[in-house]
A and B are shown apart, each in its own frame.
Chain A
Amino acid sequence: MLVRTNYLSKRYTETDGWKLGPYERDGGYKQAKRALGMKRDDLLTEMRAANIRGRGGAGFPMGVKWGFMPWPPKPEKPHYLVINADEGEPGTFKDRTIMELNPHAVVEGCIIGCFGIGAHAAYIYVRDELHLSKARLWGAIKEARAKGYLGDKPFGLDYPVEVYVHTGAGAYICGEETSLLNSLEGRRGEPRLKPPFPAQAGAFGMPTTVNNLETIATVPLALKLGGEAFSKLSDLHHLKDGGVRLFGVSGHVKTPGVFEAAVGLTLRELVYDLGGGVEHGELLGVIPGGSSCPILRPEETVNAPDAKHVLHPWHGKSVLDVPMGVDTYRALGTMLGTCCAIVLSDKADPVLAFHNLMRFYRHESCGQCTPCREGSAWLNRILTRVVDGKAEMEELDRLHEIANNIMGNTICAFGEGTAMPAMGFIKKFRKELEAFVRPEGQGVDRDARARYFPPSRPAARLATARSGPADPRQEHHEMAASRPSSSQPARSSCWRRPGLHGGRQEPDPRRDGPARHHRRHRGHVPAARRRVPRGDPDPGLRRRGGGALPVRHHAARAERRDRDARTPRGARGSSALGHRPGGRRRPATVGLASAASALQDAEPLRRARSRSVGRELFTEQVVPFQLSGALLLVAVVGAMAVARGKQADPPGAPPPGPCQSRRRSPSPPKEGS
């Protein structure tokens, strides 16, 4: 149920609404003063009753978390309050509005929080890019200190509180609480193993509570209204998910932004009522709370026939009609996260969106745990191949396998944050992924795929508004045409569909650098070096590396295929062995000629393999010939060939000409082959 509220965002539109004056006019800092006069237990009871679920993504009850702190505090172990404002989750932009437009709520929340957990110092960890936010927070701290609300005797009471702003330096992982603590301590922002939990050994080895910035900014409000009254503002009070929170919506909606509403809003209301509806078409999917949450599709329905199930009241309804709560969304198989949704219209390509997100995770993995470091890179690499039209169907399964191997095998939740959206996309957009692999498309409307995206680029949007529909493609073509060097292919755009711009996109050495350019071409052994043309491709499968052959090679292959069809299998010579449809070579185990050809091809092939991108994923064996074995084989092959030459041709054998031409001469591999 949509209930717009105006507690946190009241002064958002006011000029100078972020200053102390307007904040105090609305009753600011009265709760902090009141809290410092309360008993700690009373404050905690109030906070537990308020049912404030952590706003940073995990949704842990804040009051309970405060209660984890050892009590009473030991003088040699000072407690710390750390506020997480390292907002970097794609799609999330709510904390920034609080820091910029309501910073005093944060400072007041810090005072109450410090008292609640027995700390005397609070650090607000703000990401470095948010310069305005930092300035506003420092300004608010300065104003509060000047008024005597911070310092040795806040409000004249004997409970010293200091609040500091600490900056990060551009690492998404520092939004994870333990890596944030490492970063605060001046180390690399790598997550720590838990236990010990921060409540036992956090910042500087002391008991620490880490709260999200919105969570702490909500505290004065909860205290003002009273815990239970605050919780009851929510539609999900019965699920212990209370109060009001900020909802964000971005992507393909008409009015993106941050909106304050009571908890219990549905996704449909967020997208259509607050977000103004889907831009550029129909709704394709929504990522409900920051990119780490698995995507939801509008056609999904809730299946909860069990009357005890959290979602039973919405059984049979669309997932868009389920109230956005921590527990309800967890039951749906996704997460509420930060409550900031990214909307994709059906003009957006989910595969490109998937690729975009995986690039993000690959970039942001801190590299501490192998499954995450390697897995995120693999996911990104395979998706790059998918988007470039070079992937094979089995690689889609590999995507799922890799994501599954990241799950639960990492120190922090970043691994899950990568794997869960990946598995969501693979499960829910399998057809679209397959369409990238299979150019013929299976069950996917090719015309629809060829539709252009994005139409939302600003110039095009303006042009459309002024003079009717404009062709947004023009912009792209103009840009491509005006590239400094026309010999370079147009840079592959994340949002260009392969179907539109001539199928496969050429690698761009300018962007990729020589190394990556090379890597992309690993599968391709130059025709000049290839002693035996690879096997004939099955039309249903993508050939790896074969696509780069000149046209005349394809013609030659077709000719050979015809010949093979005419030739009995046993008499085919090398082409019948060691190859299989799809161009993949299997270990040569039978036949003489095949042994020879395998011998000749083993070395370059193995080299090509060891270099090949993503090939390490494949379980196929490397051709099992070593140099010593090879020499032995040469001798045997030579002897057999002599013996074979003496045999009469079997009756019904094809004319020797073409067959002979295909047969390899059993000589040892040349230098450098």
Chain B
Amino acid sequence: MEKTPQVSNEDAAEFTLTADNERELADILSRYPNKQAACIPALHLCQDQNGWVSDAVIAFVAGRLGLSTAHVKGVVTFYTLFNQHPVGQHQVWVCRTLSCALKGADAVLHRCEKKLGIHAGETTKDGKVTLRTAECLASCGTAPMMQVDKDYHENLSLQQVDEILEKLTR
């Protein structure tokens, strides 16, 4: 049964997927025995398109999957990878859990902060880069590491950090 989604932000523009993403969503839905299971993949899909999970996205996903917005909101707030606020064009995650910390993740984070002029959790003024700290990214053997968007950069030296960030901010 399709429930009427409750949109908390009335002004939010309605969210729609591009044609390609619509096909992708149909593909996702075909994998599961029920619609609810597609919640997380669908949210990922929308976030990839929209940059973050806005109220409009939540309403869209809830409407499509026949869920309440409360359920979708609950899912969004549970998982750390759903951005509940707009973020920069690129996201930089620096792992700081034990193996990386032992190998100098702190220095990598400091260098990022210095280079970008922001602190962890913030976005640069030009809206290009969001810097974040992450808990274990399963790259302990190649520590220290950071993730830039979808790529892992491992065995980092501070020079490499500089180079990577320069590419992003250029």
Contact = CB atoms under 8 A, between A and B. Distances in A.
Asked if chains A and B come from one complex, the reply is yes
Interface of A: 78, 87-93, 95-96, 127-132, 164, 166-172, 183-190, 204, 248-252, 256-258, 287, 291, 340, 342, 344, 348, 353, 356-357, 360, 363-364, 366, 454, 456-460, 462, 475-476, 479, 482-484, 491, 493-495, 510-511
Contacts of B117: 484
Contact of A458 (B99, B101, B104, B141): B104
Contacts of B155: 458
Interface in B129-170: 134-144, 147, 150-152, 155-159
A258 B99 CA distance: 14
B114 interface: yes
Contacts of A360: 97-98, 135-136
Contacts of B142: 93, 256-257
B124 interface: no
Interface residues of B, number: 58
Interface stretch (B1-9, B13-21, B37-45): B37-45
Given A186-B40, A454-B103, A90 B141 contact: no
Contacts of A491: 110
B138 A129 contact: yes
Nearest to B31: A164
B81 A169 contact: yes
B151 to A, nearest CB: 8
B139 A458 contact: no
Contact of B141 (A93, A204, A363, A462): A93
B98 A187 contact: no
A250 B110 contact: no
B81 A186 contact: no
Nearest to B82: A169
B40 A249 contact: no
B140 A340 contact: yes
B74 A204 contact: no
B107 to A, nearest CB: 4
A493 B33 CA distance: 48
5 contacts: A93-B142, A291-B97, A454-B101, A460-B104, A493-B106
A127 B110 CA distance: 27
Contacts of A128: 44, 81
Q: Which 4 A-B pairs have the closest CB atoms?
A: A186-B39, A457-B104, A169-B79, A170-B81
B125 to A, nearest CB: 13
Interface in B14-72: 31, 33-34, 36-41, 43-44, 65, 67, 71
A462 B161 CA distance: 14
A459 B98 contact: no
Contacts of B140: 90-93, 248, 250-251, 256, 340, 342
Contact of B99 (A132, A167, A168, A251): A251
B138 A130 contact: yes
A539 to B, nearest CB: 34
A113 B79 CA distance: 29
Nearest to B152: A132
Contacts of A90: 97-99, 135-136, 140
A191 to B, nearest CB: 12
Nearest to A252: B102
Contacts of A353: 98, 101-102
B87 interface: no
Contacts of A166: 31, 37, 40-41
Given A129-B147, A186-B39, A364-B135, A171 B159 contact: no
Contacts of B103: 251, 454, 456-458
Given A93-B141, A127-B138, A130-B138, A187 B110 contact: no
B47 to A, nearest CB: 9
Contacts of B39: 186-187
A96 B111 CA distance: 27
B119 interface: yes
Contacts of A493: 106
Contact of B40 (A88, A131, A167, A342): A167
A353 to B, nearest CB: 6
Interface of B: 31, 33-34, 36-41, 43-44, 65, 67, 71, 74-75, 78-82, 93, 96-99, 101-104, 106-107, 110-111, 114, 117, 119-120, 134-144, 147, 150-152, 155-159
B109 to A, nearest CB: 9
Given A132-B152, A250-B141, A482-B114, A188 B74 contact: yes
Given A184-B37, A482-B114, A456 B102 contact: yes
Contacts of A366: 78
B106 to A, nearest CB: 5
A87 B40 contact: no
A168 B65 contact: no
B33 A457 contact: no
A360 B97 CA distance: 7
Nearest to B151: A131
Given A131-B150, A356-B101, A360-B97, A458 B144 contact: yes
A204 B37 contact: yes
Contacts of B119: 510-511
Contacts of B144: 458
B102 A251 contact: yes
A168 B144 CA distance: 23
B168 to A, nearest CB: 17
Given A132-B152, A168-B40, A364-B135, 13 more contacts: A129-B93, A186-B37, A188-B74, A250-B143, A251-B140, A256-B140, A256-B143, A342-B99, A353-B101, A360-B98, A457-B106, A458-B103, A479-B110
Given A167-B40, A251-B102, A129 B137 contact: yes
A185 B40 CA distance: 9
A460 B93 CA distance: 22
Given A90-B98, A348-B102, A187 B80 contact: no
Given A342-B140, A457-B107, A204 B80 contact: no
A168 B138 CA distance: 14
Given A88-B136, A184-B37, A495-B106, A249 B141 contact: yes
A458 B100 CA distance: 11
Contacts of B41: 166-167
A454 B110 CA distance: 14
A351 to B, nearest CB: 13
B107 A188 contact: no
A406 B79 CA distance: 23
B102 A457 contact: no
Given A256-B140, A495-B101, A183 B156 contact: no
Of the listed residues A166, A169, A353, A456, the one surrounded by the most CB atoms of chain B closer than 10 A to its CB is A169
Of the listed residues B110, B136, B142, B158, the one surrounded by the most CB atoms of chain A closer than 10 A to its CB is B136
Contacts of A258: 141
Nearest to A173: B78
B102 A342 contact: yes
Contacts of A129: 81, 93, 134, 137-138, 147
B135 A251 contact: no
A560 B136 CA distance: 53
Nearest to A280: B102
A93 B139 contact: yes
A451 B37 CA distance: 52
Contacts of B114: 479, 482-483
B53 to A, nearest CB: 10
Given A89-B136, A92-B138, A127-B138, A186 B75 contact: yes
B79 A170 contact: yes
B149 to A, nearest CB: 9
